[in-house]
Amino acid sequence: MNAVLEKFQKIGIIPVVVLDDAKDAEALGKALMEGGLPAAEVTFRTEAAEESIRIMAEKFPDMLVGAGTVLTTEQVDRAVAAGAKFIVSPGLNPKVVKYCIEKNIPVTPGTQTPTEMEQAIELGLDIVKFFPAEPAGGLKMIKAVSAPYTMLKFMPTGGINAENVKEYLAYDKILACGGSWMVKKDMIKNGEFDKIKEMVAEAAAIVKEIRG
């Protein structure tokens, strides 16, 4: 397993972050680090994403900073140039996956169906995102597809929260969970970084409780 993906497993919950203003990136990075989840999947949905990745990667070299919602190879280049250590996409785009593999960049594409999971295996992946997790059947679905696809591990994202994350983390085919409940957009916008740190610490404690 790639060293970055091993870190995912260790961290357990990867905060999925939407930043509208890069000025919040440093304070958010500090809250994540101090709270005990030293990682961020910064979604490429906003204009501030690239600069936010650059700031977090520079200010917190020990933090695992990556880019989410990556839809094109051009976005891969921009994210990596900014300091992203991994790429996550909502769906499985073979062009983007192949591009990342060629450049030795860890990539976790979104899958939902057995067909997409087989495509991922064909492309040489053994770890996929399962998205949107809860609407697509959640842990029940992951357990069902794990029977034929024994080589796959999953990173479920979408609808995961403090209530259901324990159940996910306890299953051995779950590498890590993506979640945004502790880094909600409004809390970032309102500068509630102490509250974020507190919620991050609670999430980190859940990982410790389930995985030791």
Cβ-contact 151, 123 below 8 angstroms: no
Is 23 among the residues known to form the active site? no
Total number of residues shown for the chain: 212
Q: Cα–Cα distance between 17 and 33 in angstroms, integer? A: 14
Cβ-contact 29, 60 below 8 angstroms: yes
Q: Cα–Cα distance between 70 and 155 in angstroms, integer? A: 16
CA 42 from centre of chain: 8
Q: Is 157 strand, coil or helix? A: strand
Cβ-contact 34, 198 below 8 angstroms: no
Cβ-contact 92, 113 below 8 angstroms: no
Q: Is 17 strand, coil or helix? A: strand
Which of 7, 85, 129, 197 is catalytic? The answer is 129
Is 129 among the residues known to form the active site? yes
Which of 7, 41, 50, 153 is catalytic? The answer is 41
Beta-carbon contacts of 61 under 8 Å, excluding residues fewer than 6 positions away, are none
**Which residues participate in catalysis according to the annotation?**
41, 129
